[in-house]
Amino acid sequence: MKTSSGIENLISYGPVPGDGAGPPAPERVLFPPTFSVSEIKNKQRRHFMFLRWKQQQRKEKLALKKKRRKEREALGDKAPPKAVPKTIENQRVYDETTVDPNDEEVAFDEATDEFAPYFNRQTVPKILITTSDRPRGRTVRFCEQLATVIPNSHVYYRRGLALKRIIPQCIARDFTDLIVINEDRKIPNGLVLSHLPDGPTAHFRMSSVRLRKEIKRKGKEPTEHVPEVILNNFTTRLGHSIGRMFAALFPHNPQFIGRQVATFHNQRDYIFFRFHRYIFKSEKKVGIQELGPRFTLKLRSLQKGTFDSKFGEYEWIHKRREMDRSRRKFHL
Amino acid sequence: MAAPTRLCHVWVGAETGALKGVNLQRKEATNHVGGSGLSRGRGVSALTWGDPAQTELLVGSLDRSVSVFSTEKGKFTGERLCPGGDGAFCGLGVLGSSIVTAVESGLVRVWGEHEAEEPLQELTAGPGLCRMRQDPTRPHLVGTGGKENGLKVWDLQRPQEPLFRAKNVRNDWLDLRVPVWERDLQFLPGSQRVVTCTGHGQVRLYDPSTPQRRPVLDAAVGEAPLTALALIPGDTSVVVGSARGDVAVIDLRKGRVLRALKGFAGGVRGLQCHPRLPLVASVGLDRFLRVHQLRDGRLRDKVYLKSRLTCVLLSTHLDWEAQEEPPPQKEVKDEEGDELWDALESVPTPRKAKKRKISGV
């Protein structure tokens, strides 16, 4: 091509013919030290030079890697251990509210908070599941499936009733928790979890909701056995509060015969809910089948007291501009 | 080793009953209520200085006991029960050698020295009381306010009728009655004026010296309930904190927001400004004590205090600016080293050559 031969000329022969008199062209062209590829105005030539530079960088990198590998093999046992790659979880900014298990004041605070009656086995969880007004298909089916997953739960249709009126009636009928699934355009997108007698109310944003039929390789329907509960990675004080809230939904004595487990896994402030059935094939090998719905939650606010978004006092609110400044700082 | 209580700049009360003294220079907090003394039933609901020299703290707990804590000795020196009425303390004050207490059912009592006695004075300020405060310049005057209970200024020597009873503002643009919910109030020191903040997000200024019983200024600040109020020295602005963690500095002349203080994750329960330095300390439900600078709104100190906090009190007699002396042991060791270093010749440090980045192919 005409242009490429022109570039070759530029590279091999120094000054472009037509520039006028110049010294005899050397073998390798010498660019002035402050020259940079981006100064070439012609896009095609510039692109070509850039590609060449990139290839050169890649070659150098490969050579370096090879050299390092040879050195490592040469050293054998005395080689230094491989460097651990940095991940966002590795680089997480240390949160000073991380719970220290030996701290007696924090332990007292947790032992006497609103969930103490549940953890002291004085109350049995009884859950009321409802939705925002006029729910559509997916949300209704999601509520039914959630009710099979959480034992001792009842689904009621929300007939446009105000939550502040429902709550005293629930308390009178011995309900311990209220779950409200919020729906937007026929998909569930929010969850309000309120612990009943006077307990905190957590407001979550829900995403990635998959109903049972949308899960691939699923098992049969969940049975009536009480599942085990796994709470992963709730380290800070706020995380502990939320973890206890989830734990208070399930009765204390899991029935191991049922081999069902509900997992709340917190990673980077997102809580993943999964429901599995497991079977031990041997001592070390386990097979799991995913049953039940799956969804992801992100905490938006934790309010002290039962649901009162207008006049309630908030224990924690997610303020995006202030709290999401660093990619390595998490709150749960 | 516990930090000496004389150096505690801020005193904080928590819901678990803990009384913590915080030393801001060393960012240390010491809990003066031990492991067995912690109890939800003894959560701190009111905190005030017992004497003008700030050597004694009066701690009002949920079980209606008022404890006296001495900052000199670093321990509780006395306790008395103040029964009567329902609910927790919503205000504590000191009048000479007697204590003034107010509870949420509206009963305000003045107690004498001895515990077994009947109260010296008693007045009912109406149900649903949220706050009772004493005028710092005229301690026999107290102000009370609550839910559907407007501001009333009482003279403790004449408990039958309030000196000033505020009137509600006019009906709003839909001709509906504006609800009243005075959450916190403060007396402005220069004059007789009282500033209050409401649970509907309003800041109101009342002037009992004028015949107008309606508020002189009624400013709406956001929508969240305002739960704490503190005066800034200078009399023209106040700091208010809301239940959602929005803290703002409001100008009392126009009712505008001058500055917002950032960094709060939860509702604010207590605010106090330092009388001489431009600092404001705040505590809230997110278990942190924060000290902000008023001039530029920057967060100066943040201390994690493990339980939900309800009350804050600044120790204003201490010199906050003074640097702490380094412990004496270190100085002894340095002397020997100093002689060694002095004996050596000094070599001029070479200037670091500037690294020039060569960009190119």
Q: Which residues of A touch B309 (CB under 8 A)?
A: none
Phi, psi of A238 (to 5 degrees): -65, -40
What's the Rg (C-alpha) of chain A? 31
Angstrom distance (rounded) from CA B194 to CA B133: 10
Interface of A with B (CB under 8 A): 31, 33-37, 49, 52-53, 96-97, 103-106, 108-109, 112, 237, 304, 310-317, 319, 322-323
What would the mean pLDDT of A3-13 be, rounded to a whole number? 45
Angstrom distance (rounded) from CA A179 to CA B267: 24
> What number of C-beta contacts closer than 8 Å exist between A and B?
79
What confidence category does residue B120 fall into, taking pLDDT thresholds of 50, 70 and 90?
A: confident
End-to-end CA distance of chain A: 61
Q: Which residues of B touch A103 (CB under 8 A)?
A: 306
Angstrom distance (rounded) from CA B39 to CA A112: 8
Are B265 and A311 in contact (CB < 8 Å)? no
- Residue with tokens 């009928």, as numbered in its chain: A173
What would the mean pLDDT of A279-305 be, rounded to a whole number? 93
CB contact set of A100 (below 8 Å; sequence gap of 6+):
A106
**B52 and chain A in contact, CB less than 8 A:** no
pLDDT at A10: 45
- Is the pLDDT at B17 greater than 70, yes or no? yes
Q: What is the pLDDT of residues B37-52, one digit of tens each?
A: 788 888 999 999 988 8
CB contact set of A256 (below 8 Å; sequence gap of 6+):
A228
- Is the pLDDT at A148 greater than 70, yes or no? yes
Question: Amino acid identity of B48?
Answer: T
Q: What is the largest CA-CA distance in chain B?
A: 93
Q: Which residues of A touch B148 (CB under 8 A)?
A: none
CB contact set of B354 (below 8 Å; sequence gap of 6+):
none
CB contact set of B156 (below 8 Å; sequence gap of 6+):
B95, B100, B110, B121, B123, B140, B141, B142
- Is the pLDDT at A69 greater than 60, yes or no? yes
pLDDT at A24: 54
Is A258 within 8 Å of A226 (Cβ atoms)? yes
What would the mean pLDDT of A134-157 be, rounded to a whole number? 93
Which chain B residue has its CA at the smallest distance from A55's CA? B361
User: Hey, what are B307's tokens?
Assistant: 């339980």
Q: Within chain B, where are the H helices?
A: 328-343
Q: Measured between CB atoms, which of B16, B18, B285 is closest to A315?
A: B285
pLDDT at B356: 55
Angstrom distance (rounded) from CA A100 to CA B303: 16
User: Hey, what are B4's tokens?
Assistant: 């000496």
| List of E strands, chain A | 127-131, 153-155, 177-184, 187-195, 201-210, 228-232, 260-267, 270-280, 286-304, 313-317
Are B285 and A103 in contact (CB < 8 Å)? no
Quickly list DSSP for B225-237: PEEEEEEPTTSSE
Q: Which residues of A touch B262 (CB under 8 A)?
A: 322
Are A310 and B266 in contact (CB < 8 Å)? no
Q: What is the pLDDT of residues B184-239, one digit of tens each?
A: 999 999 888 999 999 999 999 999 999 999 999 999 998 999 999 999 998 799 99
- Residue with tokens 């056995």, as numbered in its chain: A225
Q: What is the pLDDT of residues A79-99, one digit of tens each?
A: 778 889 999 999 999 999 999
Our CA-based measurement puts residue A95 at a distance from the nearest CA of chain B, in whole angstroms, of: 10
Please report the sign of the dihedral spanned by the C-alpha atoms of residue B177, residue B125, residue B187, residue B282: negative
Q: Measured between CB atoms, which of B35, B267, B304 is closest to A313?
A: B267
User: Hey, what are B55's tokens?
Assistant: 């050597």
Q: Measured between CB atoms, which of A105, A313, A314 is closest to B307?
A: A105
The phi-psi region of residue B66 (left if phi > 0; otherwise alpha if psi is between -120 and 50; otherwise beta) is beta
Residue A39 per-residue DSSP state: G
Mean pLDDT of chain B: 86
Is A132 within 8 Å of A158 (Cβ atoms)? yes
Q: What is the pLDDT of residues A24-34, one digit of tens each?
A: 545 567 777 77
pLDDT at B1: 40
Q: Which residues of A touch B286 (CB under 8 A)?
A: 315-316
- Determine the 3-state secondary structure of B320 from DSSP: coil
Is B71 within 8 Å of B59 (Cβ atoms)? no
